[in-house]
A and B are shown apart, each in its own frame.
Chain A
Amino acid sequence: MSDREQKRTEKRESTTEETVEEIKGSEAGQDVTERIDDLLDEIDSVLEENAEEFVKNYVQKGGE
Chain B
Amino acid sequence: MSAIHKVIGTETEFGISVRGAPDFNPVLASSIVVNSYAGLRAKIQWSHEEESPGRDARGFGPEGGILPDIDGGLVNVVLGNGARFYVDHAHPEYSAPEAYDPLEAALYDKAGEVVLARAATEARSLLEGDQSLVVHKNNSDGKGNSYGSHENFLLNREVPFSDVVDYFTTFLVTRQVFTGSGKLGSENGRSRVPFQLTQRADFFEEEVGLETTLKRPIINTRDEPHGDPKKYRRLHVIIGDATMSEVQTFIKLGSAALVLMAIEEGVIPETLRLAKPVDSTWQVSHDLDMNRPLELAEGGTATALEMQGRYLEWATKYAENADLPEPYEQVLHEWEAVLADLERDPLSTADRLDWAAKYRLLLDYQERDGLAWDDAKLRLLALQYHDVDPAKGLFYKLEEAGRIRKLFTAAEVEHAVNEPPTRTRAYFRGKSVSKYGDSLVAANWDSLVFDAGEETLKRVPMMEPLRGTKELVSDLLDRSDDAASLLRALGENDE
Contacts and interface: CB of A to CB of B under 8 A. Distances in A.
Given A60-B15, A60-B16, A62-B91, A37 B368 contact: yes
B381 A59 contact: no
Contacts of A52: 376
A37 B134 CA distance: 26
Nearest to A41: B368
Given A37-B368, A51-B377, A60 B145 contact: yes
Interface stretch (B35-43, B289-297, B391-399): B391-399
Given A40-B365, A59-B143, A54 B380 contact: yes
B97 to A, nearest CB: 20
Interface string A24-64: 00000000000111011011001110011011111111111
B364 A58 contact: no
A43 B393 CA distance: 9
A37 B379 CA distance: 19
Given A63-B148, A63-B213, A57 B397 contact: no
Which secondary structure dominates chain A's binding surface?
helix
Contacts of B147: 60, 62-64
Nearest to A35: B401
Interface of B: 13, 15-17, 19, 22, 26, 88-91, 134, 140-143, 145-148, 150, 212-213, 238, 348, 361, 364-365, 368, 376-377, 379-381, 383-384, 391-392, 394, 397-398, 401, 403
Which secondary structure dominates chain B's binding surface?
mixed
B381 A43 contact: yes
Interface of A: 4, 35-37, 39-40, 42-43, 46-48, 51-52, 54-64
Instruction: Indicate the member of B16, B88, B238, B376 with the most A CB atoms within 10 Å.
Output: B376
Instruction: Indicate the member of A56, A57, A58 with the most B CB atoms within 10 Å.
Output: A58
B91 A63 contact: yes
Nearest to B13: A63
Contact of A47 (B15, B19, B22, B380): B380
A40 B140 CA distance: 24
Contacts of B348: 4
A9 B384 CA distance: 37
Given A46-B392, A46-B397, A60 B380 contact: no
Instruction: Indicate the member of A37, A39, A47 with the most B CB atoms within 10 Å.
Output: A39
B394 A43 contact: yes
Contact of B401 (A39, A47, A55): A39
Contact of A57 (B17, B88, B392): B17
A55 B383 contact: yes
A56 B376 CA distance: 9
A28 B184 CA distance: 31
